[in-house]
């Protein structure tokens, strides 16, 4: 069953709801329809096997309305409802504070002398306080009643009991003063206490709600990035349609300055696209025919046509939003303590309140009953479980949101928490530190003349560092007959392989327009190479290990191989049976951000390690150019996980950065798995953090973000706990025997209101401050 939200157009009365619902309910495959008139939207639950989204839209159109699929997000209805609730809260706070101020004027010693006598009248005070107690205070009663019925206690129960005690006592004093006089207490009401507490706590709640909305701002911003319309090519015409109506396969025109509406592949034209909103990468990327474009990114220069490949909730932006939302649903381990305490907190505070009353009544100074009541109220009011409840989730919300803006997707709160403890980062080489698109750089035939293929160096690399250079594939004229044959044989063997080295060889052969031969009995040896038969002859193509296993004599090639490997190239040998035919060297280019990213990690005191299936020489050569000192080379794919575990057993907190299927077990085994967003689905699935951009600087950034978030969580938890641990005893009167100090219930409510706001505000600070 699939559930989709639709927006409806043209609804003008409640009967329209029935018309739409009736029409859709009659369709085979529709299980449930709920249409909301106020928000002009509805939800349809249907079986996608039996009925399509288009059919639903068509049916609605058939009865005279427009329908489009809604993409994620809160409905307007929900937003309106929230706004309404906030406005009502604002009114209550204003009335409460206004009445409270008047009451304080009439009762507060020092102030009351200036007040008109009418305000000093207890009956007038009762009249003013009663509506506030029950209308403003209804928020608390309303929440307390069902909670109490469910045998749970929340903060509202504490506030409701606390203020009711103050109000009822004051009402009794006003209506039956003789009762309290008989107990030796001067009849003096505390209406101001009840009213001000209610108003201040609601004010706190109002401000907290406003601040809390800021914690999910990043997600809202992501939603807002979406284009509203798309210019779709229909026949010879180009028409603008709402983005919700774009379907997979539609050809879309994007002009300079416009947003790319959905994900797709360029079919005509080229441009430079600003992808910063999705990847965090600030430099626009050049896109040509066949390149992927991402919805919500901005087209800078050219106009191009592209074919939509992903729409609606399948687009990258929607997936990012989904991942971030899912992450925010998970709980950080650090929260466990706060969770445990908060589940006992309110009942314990209630018990402490009762205890306070008994102690003050029995042991307190005269008038003990009054002291007992006021201190009990203070205890009930000062206790603030909210600050504890908000401490971690708000920081996680802001932290994950900030990450998403930088192109760092944190998939769960636990990864965000663990990342700050990381002391070792293991990088997979291919596709992570390097571009992962190796190209053939040399072909050498044994017994023939070795030929070094031409290579161009990029302008960014004037010194000619071989690792930053962009090797160019062999030109057709650059190879002699023997070399061409060697490459042809190798490419024919590798045709069936999916290894990146194989791709380099096949590509080189194809670019040189070599016809490939038919290879049979193909067999891949993980981490070693491949074998196969061509024209009834058995060929092997792979590393020294494969050759040794098959007893191929490689003596003649050793010197050349060592030279190439010391340059960081991967060398593969081709043999016909046991006879070595030649060598093919393949090199991968290092990503421009790798060196910087590694350097930053090292500055943070984190050890960087490179893990690769390459042999030691090649691996060290690349590691050296990156500044990585520790290299785990010749690691077979299935051993990567074991290597991570070995590091962990040595007491290291390990982050693994990788992108391939073979990295998945290591990513899962590491304390924090970091997958490159361009990597395979399974790698992304196994990782806790996904870097949407290919920028290796994101690794230190993610760790830095984790550090900052954890610092915020710890400060929040410290204040939330310290606040309750210190102030509850003060409210109980622990300081009274020593200093004669008591906590005024009004001050208690002020402190309570500010405690949860301060926690949210502290979390919001995470939005500021630079992260590299």
Partner 1 sequence: MRTDEIVVILLGVSSIVFVWWYFLGKKRKEVRVSESVDIIVDGGYSPEVISIPAGKTTQFNFLRRDPTNCLEELVIPDFRIKRGLPLNEKVTVEITPKKSGEYTYHCGMNMYKGKIIVKG
Tell me whether the omega of the peptide bond preceding residue 155 falls within 30 degrees of 0, making it cis: no
Q: Which of 209, 582, 550, 529 is nearest to 390 (CA)?
A: 209
The CB-of-42 to partner 1 minimum distance in angstroms stands at 11
Residue 691 burial (CB count, 10 A): 30
> Which x/- pattern, by CB under 8 A, does the window 110-139 give for partner 1?
-----------------------------x
Cα separation values, 584 from 437, 518, 561, 603, Å: 16, 20, 9, 38
The CB-of-756 to partner 1 minimum distance in angstroms stands at 10
Residue 544 makes contact with partner 1 by CB under 8 A: no
Residue 631 burial (CB count, 10 A): 21
The CB-of-149 to partner 1 minimum distance in angstroms stands at 6
Q: Yes or no: say if 422 and 674 are a contact pair by the CB < 8 Å rule.
A: no
The CB-of-325 to partner 1 minimum distance in angstroms stands at 6
- The rounded distance, in Å, linking the Cα atoms of 542 and 529 is 4
Q: Yes or no: say if 158 and 380 are a contact pair by the CB < 8 Å rule.
A: yes
Binding residue for partner 1 (CB under 8 A) from 163, 328, 430, 716? 328
Residue 355 makes contact with partner 1 by CB under 8 A: yes
What 8-state DSSP symbol labels residue 526? Answer: T
Select 88 or 475, whichever has its Cβ closest to partner 1. 88
| 638 is a catalytic site residue | no
The CB-of-451 to partner 1 minimum distance in angstroms stands at 56
The CB-of-108 to partner 1 minimum distance in angstroms stands at 30
The CB-of-326 to partner 1 minimum distance in angstroms stands at 4
Select 327 or 541, whichever has its Cβ closest to partner 1. 327
Residue 675 burial (CB count, 10 A): 30
The CB-of-746 to partner 1 minimum distance in angstroms stands at 23
Select 381 or 387, whichever has its Cβ closest to partner 1. 387
Binding residue for partner 1 (CB under 8 A) from 9, 34, 579, 630? 34
Q: Are strands 630-632 and 607-611 parallel, antiparallel or unpaired?
A: parallel
The CB-of-94 to partner 1 minimum distance in angstroms stands at 19
**Please, what is the end-to-end C-alpha distance for the chain in angstroms?**
45
Binding residue for partner 1 (CB under 8 A) from 105, 135, 223, 361? 361
Binding residue for partner 1 (CB under 8 A) from 7, 75, 164, 593? 75
Region 394-433 residues binding partner 1, contact defined as CB under 8 A? 412
Write down the catalytic residue from 412, 428, 482, 659.
Answer: 428
Question: Residue 23 is inside which H or E element, if any?
Answer: helix 14-25
Backbone angles phi, psi at 68, to 5 degrees: -140, 150
Select 159 or 626, whichever has its Cβ closest to partner 1. 159
Binding residue for partner 1 (CB under 8 A) from 147, 225, 265, 517? 147
Residue 342 makes contact with partner 1 by CB under 8 A: yes
The DSSP secondary structure of 150-200, one letter per residue, reads: TT---HHHHHHHHHHHHHHHHHHHHH-HHHHHHTT------HHHHHHHHHH
Select 54 or 78, whichever has its Cβ closest to partner 1. 78
Piece in contact with partner 1 (CB under 8 A), picked from 126-134, 167-175, 347-355, 549-557? 347-355
Binding residue for partner 1 (CB under 8 A) from 123, 134, 176, 344? 344
> Which x/- pattern, by CB under 8 A, does the window 279-308 give for partner 1?
------------------------------
Binding residue for partner 1 (CB under 8 A) from 15, 18, 52, 74? 74
Residue 736 makes contact with partner 1 by CB under 8 A: no
Binding residue for partner 1 (CB under 8 A) from 131, 347, 464, 476? 347
Buried b (16+ CB within 10 A) or exposed e, 71-94: bbbebeeeeeeeeeeeeebeebbe
> Which x/- pattern, by CB under 8 A, does the window 148-177 give for partner 1?
xxxxxxxxx---------------------
Select 266 or 384, whichever has its Cβ closest to partner 1. 384
What SS3 state is found at 710?
helix
Piece in contact with partner 1 (CB under 8 A), picked from 22-30, 112-120, 334-342, 448-456? 334-342
Binding residue for partner 1 (CB under 8 A) from 24, 211, 346, 672? 346
Binding residue for partner 1 (CB under 8 A) from 339, 460, 638, 681? 339
Binding residue for partner 1 (CB under 8 A) from 14, 111, 118, 145? 145
Select 414 or 584, whichever has its Cβ closest to partner 1. 414
Piece in contact with partner 1 (CB under 8 A), picked from 55-63, 75-83, 523-531, 697-705? 75-83
The sheet with strand 579-587 has its strands ordered as: 451-452, 439-445, 579-587, 570-576, 537-542, 529-534, 519-525
Residue 393 makes contact with partner 1 by CB under 8 A: yes
Piece in contact with partner 1 (CB under 8 A), picked from 246-254, 303-311, 346-354, 470-478? 346-354
Binding residue for partner 1 (CB under 8 A) from 118, 358, 470, 556? 358
Residue 87 makes contact with partner 1 by CB under 8 A: no
Piece in contact with partner 1 (CB under 8 A), picked from 95-103, 389-397, 511-519, 699-707? 389-397
- The rounded distance, in Å, linking the Cα atoms of 663 and 637 is 7
- The rounded distance, in Å, linking the Cα atoms of 70 and 709 is 33
Piece in contact with partner 1 (CB under 8 A), picked from 91-99, 194-202, 329-337, 727-735? 329-337
User: In the chain, how long is the greatest CA-to-CA distance?
Assistant: 120
Residue 668 makes contact with partner 1 by CB under 8 A: no
Residue 466 makes contact with partner 1 by CB under 8 A: no
Buried b (16+ CB within 10 A) or exposed e, 698-727: bbbbbbbbbbbbbebbebbbebbbebbeeb
Residue 30 makes contact with partner 1 by CB under 8 A: no
- The rounded distance, in Å, linking the Cα atoms of 30 and 48 is 9
The sheet with strand 630-632 has its strands ordered as: 408-410, 689-691, 672-676, 654-658, 424-428, 607-611, 630-632
Binding residue for partner 1 (CB under 8 A) from 362, 449, 477, 725? 362
Chain centroid to Cα 584, Å, comes to 43
The CB-of-569 to partner 1 minimum distance in angstroms stands at 44
C-alpha torsion sign, points 562, 568, 569, 575: positive
Region 188-227 residues binding partner 1, contact defined as CB under 8 A? 205, 209
Binding residue for partner 1 (CB under 8 A) from 15, 18, 25, 45? 45
Strand partners, 66: 9
What SS3 state is found at 258?
coil
Region 244-283 residues binding partner 1, contact defined as CB under 8 A? none
Q: Which of 686, 715, 689 is nearest to 704 (CA)?
A: 689
What 8-state DSSP symbol labels residue 709? Answer: H
* 664-671: long-range contacts, CB 8 A cutoff, minimum separation 24: 665/638, 665/640, 665/641, 666/426, 666/428, 666/611, 666/640, 666/641, 668/641, 669/641, 669/644, 669/645, 670/426, 670/644, 671/418, 671/421, 671/422
Binding residue for partner 1 (CB under 8 A) from 190, 357, 723, 750? 357
Select 355 or 548, whichever has its Cβ closest to partner 1. 355
Which residues bind to partner 1, rule: CB under 8 A? 3, 34, 45, 74-75, 77-78, 81, 85, 139, 142-156, 205, 209, 325-331, 335, 338-339, 342-344, 346-347, 350-351, 354-355, 357-358, 361-362, 385-386, 389-390, 393, 412
Catalytic machinery residues: 428
């Amino acid at each position: 069953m699939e559930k989709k939200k639709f927006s409806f157009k043209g609804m003008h009365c409640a009967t329209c709801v029935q018309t739409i619902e009736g029409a859709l309910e009659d369709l085979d495959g529709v299980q449930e329809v709920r249409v909301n008139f106020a928000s002009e939207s509805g939800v349809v639950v249907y079986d996608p096997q039996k009925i399509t989204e288009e059919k639903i839209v068509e049916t609605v159109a058939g009865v005279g309305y427009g329908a489009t699929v809604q993409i994620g997000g809160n409905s307007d209805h929900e937003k309106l409802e929230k706004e309404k609730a906030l406005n009502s809260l604002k009114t209550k706070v204003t009335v409460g504070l206004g009445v409270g101020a008047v009451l304080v004027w009439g009762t507060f010693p020092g102030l009351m002398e200036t007040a008109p006598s009418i305000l000093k009248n207890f009956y007038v005070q009762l009249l003013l306080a009663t509506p506030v107690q029950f209308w403003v205070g209804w928020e608390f009663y309303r929440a307390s009643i069902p909670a109490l019925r469910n045998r749970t206690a929340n903060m509202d129960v504490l506030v409701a009991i606390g203020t009711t005690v103050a109000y009822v006592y004051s009402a009794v004093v006003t209506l039956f003063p003789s009762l309290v006089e008989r107990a030796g207490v001067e009849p003096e009401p505390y209406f101001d206490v009840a009213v001000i507490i209610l108003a201040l706590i609601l004010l706190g709640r109002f401000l907290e709600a406003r601040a809390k909305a800021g914690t999910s701002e990043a997600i809202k911003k992501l939603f807002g990035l979406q284009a509203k319309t798309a210019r779709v090519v229909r026949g010879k015409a180009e028409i603008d349609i709402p983005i919700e109506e774009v379907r997979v396969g539609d050809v879309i025109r994007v002009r300079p300055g416009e947003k790319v509406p959905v994900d797709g592949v360029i079919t005509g034209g080229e441009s430079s696209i600003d992808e910063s909103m999705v990847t965090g990468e600030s430099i626009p990327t050049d896109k040509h025919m066949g390149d992927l474009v991402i919805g919500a990114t901005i087209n800078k220069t050219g106009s191009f046509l592209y074919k939509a490949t992903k729409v609606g909730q399948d687009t990258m932006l929607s997936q990012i939003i989904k991942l971030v939302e899912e992450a925010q649903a998970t709980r950080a381990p650090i929260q466990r303590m706060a969770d445990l305490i908060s589940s006992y907190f309110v009942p314990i505070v209630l018990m402490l309140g009762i205890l306070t009353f008994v102690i003050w009544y029995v042991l307190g100074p005269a008038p003990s009953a009054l002291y007992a009541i006021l201190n009990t109220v203070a205890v009930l009011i000062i206790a603030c479980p909210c600050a504890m409840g908000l401490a971690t989730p708000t920081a996680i919300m802001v932290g994950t949101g900030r990450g998403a803006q930088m192109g760092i997707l944190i998939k769960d709160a636990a990864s965000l928490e663990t990342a700050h403890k990381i002391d070792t980062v293991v990088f997979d080489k291919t596709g992570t530190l390097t571009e992962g698109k190796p190209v053939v750089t040399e072909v050498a035939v044994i017994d023939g003349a070795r030929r070094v293929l031409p290579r161009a160096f990029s302008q960014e690399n004037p010194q000619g560092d071989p690792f930053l250079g962009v090797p160019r594939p062999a030109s057709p004229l650059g190879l002699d007959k023997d070399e061409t044959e060697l490459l042809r044989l190798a490419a024919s063997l590798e045709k069936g392989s999916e290894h990146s080295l194989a791709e380099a060889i096949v590509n080189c052969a194809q670019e040189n327009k070599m016809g490939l031969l038919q290879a049979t009995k193909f067999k891949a040896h993980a981490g070693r190479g491949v074998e196969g038969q061509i024209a009834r002859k058995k060929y092997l193509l792979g590393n020294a290990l494969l050759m040794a296993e098959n007893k191929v004599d490689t003596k003649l090639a050793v010197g050349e191989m060592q030279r190439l490997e010391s340059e960081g190239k991967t060398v593969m040998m081709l043999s016909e049976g046991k006879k070595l035919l030649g060598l093919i060297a393949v090199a991968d280019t290092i990503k421009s951000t790798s060196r910087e990213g590694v350097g930053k990690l090292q500055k943070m005191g984190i050890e960087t390690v490179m893990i690769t299936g390459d042999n030691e020489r090649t691996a060290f050569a690349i590691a050296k150019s990156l500044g990585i000192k520790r290299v785990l080379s010749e690691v077979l794919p299935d051993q990567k996980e074991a290597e991570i575990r070995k590091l962990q057993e040595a007491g290291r907190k390990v982050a693994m950065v990788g992108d391939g299927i073979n990295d998945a077990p290591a990513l899962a085994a590491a304390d924090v798995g970091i997958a490159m967003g361009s990597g395979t689905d399974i790698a992304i699935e196994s990782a806790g953090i996904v870097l949407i951009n290919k920028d290796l600087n994101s690794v230190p950034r993610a760790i830095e973000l984790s550090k900052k978030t954890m610092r915020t969580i710890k400060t929040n938890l410290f204040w939330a706990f310290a606040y309750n641990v210190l102030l509850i005893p003060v409210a109980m009167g622990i300081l009274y025997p020593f200093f004669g100090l008591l906590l005024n219930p009004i001050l208690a409510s002020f402190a309570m209101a500010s405690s949860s706001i301060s926690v949210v505000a502290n979390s919001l600070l995470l939005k500021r401050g630079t992260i590299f």
